[in-house]
């Protein structure tokens, strides 16, 4: 994922090189960013990659995460999964956790 945030307009733009789409934390809700077609890793593209974007609202937080989070496995071999990630993030937002505490909560549960 290669991205740029224009802090003046609140508009993030990104190129997806195979990572999951970002999530937007809006208040106590999670909002999916628009689908962004993946391109090949940087330096290996044969064509120009799609540049995707959205508009953030005041107070929004943009959550970028690697696929290693959702593909982590339990000792029983069960994937952590995207639904569990969104559940952990939603619970942290509802609890008013800070970003560092949210990461700690996520690491304890993955």
Residue 1's pLDDT band (cuts 50, 70, 90): confident
**Predicted local distance difference test score (pLDDT) of residue 12:** 94
Predicted local confidence at residue 21, as pLDDT: 85
Residue 47 has a pLDDT of 83
| DSSP per-residue letters across 29-91 | EEEEPPP----PPTT--SSPPPPEE--PPTT-EEE---HHHHT-B-TTS-B--HHHHHHHHHH
User: What angle (nearest 5°) sits at the alpha carbon of residue 94, between those of residues 87 and 14?
Assistant: 60
Other CB atoms within 10 A of residue 75 CB: 5
Res. 4: pLDDT tops 90: yes
Q: Kindly list the domain boundaries of the chain, sorted by start residue.
A: 1-64, 65-110
pTM value surpassing 0.85: no
Confidence of residue 78 (pLDDT cuts 50, 70, 90): very high
pLDDT, tens only, 38-54: 887 777 777 888 899 99
Per-residue model confidence (pLDDT) at position 52: 93
């Amino acid at each position: 994922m290669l991205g740029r945030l224009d802090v003046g307009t609140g508009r993030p733009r990104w190129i997806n090189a195979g990572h999951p789409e970002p999530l937007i934390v809006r208040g106590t809700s999670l909002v999916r960013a628009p689908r962004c077609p993946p391109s090949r890793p940087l330096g290996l593209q044969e064509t120009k990659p799609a540049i995707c974007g959205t508009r953030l609202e005041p107070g929004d937080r943009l959550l970028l995460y690697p696929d290693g989070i959702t593909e982590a496995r339990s000792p029983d071999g069960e994937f952590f999964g995207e639904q569990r990630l969104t559940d952990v993030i939603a619970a942290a937002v509802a609890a008013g956790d800070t970003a560092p505490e949210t990461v700690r909560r996520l690491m304890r549960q993955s």
